[in-house]
Amino acid sequence: MKDDRARLLLSLNVEPGDPRLASALREQGGAAALLDAVRRRPAMWPEPWQHVTDGPEDQVEHMLRVGREQGLRWITPGHEEWPEQLAGLDEVETAGGAGGAPLGLWCRGTGHLRLLSEHAVAVVGARDCTTYGAEVAGDIAASAAASGFTVVSGAAFGIDASAHRGGLAAGDAGIAVLACGADLDYPRAHASLLGRIAEYGVVVSEYPPGRAAARSRFLARNRLIAALADGLVVVEAAHRSGSLNTLQWADRLGRTTMAVPGPVTSAQSQGTHDAVRSGKAVLVGSGADVVAELVGFHGRIAKDRAVDVDPVATAVFGQLHDASPRQPAEIARELRIGTLHTVRALRRLEADGAVEATAEGWQRTATSSPAP
Amino acid sequence: MKDDRARLLLSLNVEPGDPRLASALREQGGAAALLDAVRRRPAMWPEPWQHVTDGPEDQVEHMLRVGREQGLRWITPGHEEWPEQLAGLDEVETAGGAGGAPLGLWCRGTGHLRLLSEHAVAVVGARDCTTYGAEVAGDIAASAAASGFTVVSGAAFGIDASAHRGGLAAGDAGIAVLACGADLDYPRAHASLLGRIAEYGVVVSEYPPGRAAARSRFLARNRLIAALADGLVVVEAAHRSGSLNTLQWADRLGRTTMAVPGPVTSAQSQGTHDAVRSGKAVLVGSGADVVAELVGFHGRIAKDRAVDVDPVATAVFGQLHDASPRQPAEIARELRIGTLHTVRALRRLEADGAVEATAEGWQRTATSSPAP
């Protein structure tokens, strides 16, 4: 059985995010080998894992068909769209009953997950946020999006939704990571928000289509939000809020961890203040602060001339392969990265002298090297 | 001329806080020697210093009489009431045209400056503060006062006044440091506030009676606020606010530096957020946080049994010298430390088994050692 199908079969029978999975995969040397090992000596493995032997090919075919019908695609490590940074999850301690890189991801939406998460910031926080928190989350997301960062969040009520909306309003494609099947609109009231994200971005889940959300899955989901982004901003969080769990994942993964302060009289800011006090997060007061932290820490995003280290710009440049000029929207469709990211990449390439705008569209300059 | 009179004469002719003073005192080996040096070769010294030769004894006598008439006392290093921690100012870099330990201090009020500043916290901030800031300053000051810390501030409008009022309401004696003569009510509208502080605490200034406030004197005054206290809390401060100057003094002096966050949308919290972001201050959200930082950092104030290192408790214990029990108010009057501090010291001594409460008042226990 091929690796991507073996991973899918495992994900149907083993709880995705189970920290024993990652180590079993490593020990057995891959998904197919792990399947074989379970089949050979089922009693050696946790009870639910043993069902992996029940009509494996049927299960895989069925789920792939269900996924297709729901507009989902299944991607695994090695896939062109797979975000390499998820591998970091295999390098850090497990926690709260979850850990390890996901077996694979179900994706819904036109966005290209790897390219969109190249420059990404997670913005998360309390479900029962204050008006202040909602406004700040929206502003920070919009400002980060305008600086070329994709907003990653969990589509929950409160801060998550405000962050997604702020990003979308600024032209962001968006990435939503769910704790249930990527085909489900959860929470129900956010069906149209998830639809808007799927339009140019991606709704992502490690759970099979139709799988319901559960408390433990929210905790497991948090590690994916943290892992997908370069940094994480907690906008509001009560003492011991779930967002602080996401912050811990980001911290373990070596991501830039940030927290927004608020009135000390607000219960919804206690968690962010605790995080700053304990040194687990840097205080940020604006989108500009967030961008400065991300750029400063990673040094990955040079202000103007980052073409040589920027896979998005490289991909956009690759689309301008012949003499005929092209429109940003056309390139965006092709690359599945949204028009905003495309235009920003074109501007960076232009500043670098690699491309130029003409009346008919964008084209390579005469002097541009074949691969900038 | 005796040292305290020589210092007074110098303070009348040299701008107190002039950073050249401290080094001149060190070089010449004391105030009297510096006076002699100026008299011998006046041209070697800054022009205003040369007036030190004009009828010195008359000047000193006149000013001491004026001070007495205004209810002020002049204290200098070596005086029983002199706060030793001011010497730290001689060890740190000068800044903003000010520096060095003060020549002496004019004190108004019944409080004992050294004992009151043994456990003290400075609470400062914006003059044009928000309602939020005023409330938080009052709460933090009240809570720190209730934990036995004297509140030190500048009696200015806004945060300063709220901090003083919060402390007084919780039974604090209070220390106000002015940028003008300690006899002057500055600002005018705070005459009754200053009167209340003088009732059990101290209004302090390094400027002679009658000397008017000036911009440079506020900056020089800030170093005394920082030096007198164990730690400093900035509650609200706009970008580049004067309170950040006080914070820098506290930082230079190795005091615990703290800042209160607020809404990131509030201009009055930009300065405190900047201070936290840059690592110049620890974020604190409550009086409990402040006390925890002060206790944790200095380790000077053990929770219950700090009698052996606590000069306030030692002084209170010293007042219970014979068999007849005494009332806290009586001891407070004698020691000039306010009833709150006295009762708290008695409680600490009680926890230590050194004193006990009887129907007639407090007395030493039979088993208590002569000097706990």
Task: Compute the distance between CA of residue A272 and CA of residue A137 in angstroms, rounded to an integer.
Answer: 13
Q: To which residue do tokens 């070089």 refer?
A: B27
Q: How far apart are the first and last CA of chain A?
A: 39
Does A354 touch chain B if contact means CB atoms closer than 8 Å? no
Nearest Cβ partner for A262 among B136, B261, B282: B261
For A23, A39, A53, A66, A111, the CA distances from A58, given in Å and listed in that order, are: 27, 16, 11, 12, 29
User: Which residues are paired to A226 by β-bridges?
Assistant: none
Phi, then psi, of A254 in degrees rounded to 5: 75, 20
| Ordered DSSP codes for B206-249 | SSPTTPPP-HHHHHHHHHHHHHHSSEEEE----TT-HHHHHHHH
Rg of chain A in Å (alpha carbons): 21
> Where do the domains of chain A lie, and which CATH numbers do they carry?
105-298 (3.40.50.450), 307-364 (1.10.10.10)
pLDDT of residue A305: 36
Nearest residue on chain A to B281, alpha-carbon basis? A277
- Chain B, residues 225-264, CB within 8 A of chain A, namely 260-264
pLDDT of residue B174: 96
B297: pLDDT strictly greater than 70: no
- Which of A154, A150, A151, A219 shows the shortest CA–CA distance to A186? A154
Does A267 touch chain B if contact means CB atoms closer than 8 Å? no
DSSP reduced 3-state for A270: helix
pLDDT of residue B343: 82
pLDDT tens readout for residues B321-333: 777 889 888 888 8
pLDDT of residue B148: 87
- Give the ranges where chain A is alpha helix by DSSP (H): 3-13, 19-28, 31-40, 56-69, 113-116, 131-146, 159-169, 191-200, 215-228, 242-252, 270-277, 287-298, 311-319, 328-335, 338-351
A147: pLDDT strictly greater than 90: no
Residues 6 or more apart whose CB falls under 8 angstroms from that of A110 comprise A198, A199, A200, A201, A333, A336
For residue A311, is the peptide bond before it cis, meaning its omega torsion is within 30 degrees of 0?
A: no
Residues 6 or more apart whose CB falls under 8 angstroms from that of A371 comprise A314, A317
Task: Compute the distance between CA of residue B241 and CA of residue A6 in angstroms, rounded to an integer.
Answer: 62
Nearest Cβ partner for B263 among A263, A273, A283: A263
B150: pLDDT strictly greater than 80: yes
Residues 6 or more apart whose CB falls under 8 angstroms from that of B193 comprise B155, B161, B164, B165
* CA distance to partner chain B, nearest, from residue A270 (Å): 8
The distance of Cα A193 from the centroid of its chain, to the nearest Å, equals 16
Task: Compute the distance between CA of residue B282 and CA of residue A261 in angstroms, rounded to an integer.
Answer: 13
- Give the ranges where A95-254 is alpha helix by DSSP (H): 113-116, 131-146, 159-169, 191-200, 215-228, 242-252
User: Which residues are paired to A203 by β-bridges?
Assistant: A108, A176
pLDDT of residue B180: 98
pLDDT tens readout for residues B226-245: 999 999 999 999 998 999 99
Going by the DSSP 8-state scheme, the letter that residue A163 receives in this structure is: H
DSSP reduced 3-state for A289: helix
The first and second tokens of residue B69, run together, are: 């008439």
Contacts of B263 in chain A (CB under 8 A): 132, 262-263
CB distance A136–B264 less than 8 Å? Answer: yes
Confidence of residue A370 (pLDDT cuts 50, 70, 90): low
For residue A187, is the peptide bond before it cis, meaning its omega torsion is within 30 degrees of 0?
A: yes
Q: What is the mean pLDDT of chain B?
A: 90
CB A328 within 8 A of CB A135: no
CB distance A285–B273 less than 8 Å? Answer: yes
Mean pLDDT of B41-65: 88
pLDDT tens readout for residues A34-56: 999 999 999 999 988 988 877 77
Confidence of residue B369 (pLDDT cuts 50, 70, 90): low
B103: pLDDT strictly greater than 80: yes
CB distance B264–A269 less than 8 Å? Answer: no
The first and second tokens of residue B38, run together, are: 């100026």
Confidence of residue A95 (pLDDT cuts 50, 70, 90): confident
- Which of B155, B196, B161 shows the shortest CA–CA distance to B176? B155
CB distance A262–B264 less than 8 Å? Answer: yes
pLDDT tens readout for residues A251-307: 999 999 999 999 999 999 999 999 999 999 999 999 999 998 887 644 444 433 343
DSSP reduced 3-state for A58: helix
Does B289 touch chain A if contact means CB atoms closer than 8 Å? yes
CB B140 within 8 A of CB B283: no
Share of chain A above pLDDT 90, in %: 68
- Which of A336, A156, A163 shows the shortest CA–CA distance to A234? A163
Contacts of B286 in chain A (CB under 8 A): 264
Nearest residue on chain A to B270, alpha-carbon basis? A285
Task: Compute the distance between CA of residue B249 and CA of residue A362 in angstroms, rounded to an integer.
Answer: 56
Rg of chain B in Å (alpha carbons): 21
For A19, B16, B157, B167, B263, the CA distances from B260, given in Å and listed in that order, are: 40, 31, 18, 17, 10
Confidence of residue B309 (pLDDT cuts 50, 70, 90): low
Query: Which of B269, B272, B283, B291 to probe the A interface (max A CBs under 10 A)?
Result: B283
pLDDT of residue A322: 73
CB distance B135–A265 less than 8 Å? Answer: yes
Query: Which of B139, B277, B278, B293 to probe the A interface (max A CBs under 10 A)?
Result: B277
User: Which residues are paired to A363 by β-bridges?
Assistant: A356
Mean pLDDT of B51-63: 85
* CA distance to partner chain B, nearest, from residue A285 (Å): 5
Nearest Cβ partner for B260 among A136, A264, A289: A264
Nearest Cβ partner for B285 among A273, A285, A289: A273
Contacts of B273 in chain A (CB under 8 A): 261, 283, 285
Do you know the residue count of chain B?
372
CB burial class (10 A; 0-12, 13-18, 19+) of residue A360? exposed
pLDDT of residue A313: 84
| Ordered DSSP codes for B29-60 | TSHHHHHHHHHH-GGGS-GGGGGGGSSHHHHH
A6: pLDDT strictly greater than 50: yes
- Which residue type is seen at B79? H
Q: How far apart are the first and last CA of chain B?
A: 39
CB distance B277–A282 less than 8 Å? Answer: yes
* CA distance to partner chain B, nearest, from residue A154 (Å): 23
pLDDT of residue B303: 38
Residues 6 or more apart whose CB falls under 8 angstroms from that of B75 comprise B4, B81, B82, B104, B105, B107, B113
CB B253 within 8 A of CB B246: no
Task: Compute the distance between CA of residue B105 and CA of residue B294 in angstroms, rounded to an integer.
Answer: 26
* CA distance to partner chain B, nearest, from residue A142 (Å): 15
pLDDT tens readout for residues A156-167: 999 999 999 999
Mean pLDDT of B100-115: 96
Task: Compute the distance between CA of residue A261 and CA of residue B266 in angstroms, rounded to an integer.
Answer: 11
Q: What is the mean pLDDT of chain A?
A: 90
- Better pLDDT: A95 or A224: A224
The first and second tokens of residue B168, run together, are: 């007084």
Which of A43-57, A250-264, B61-75, B131-145 has the lowest average pLDDT? A43-57
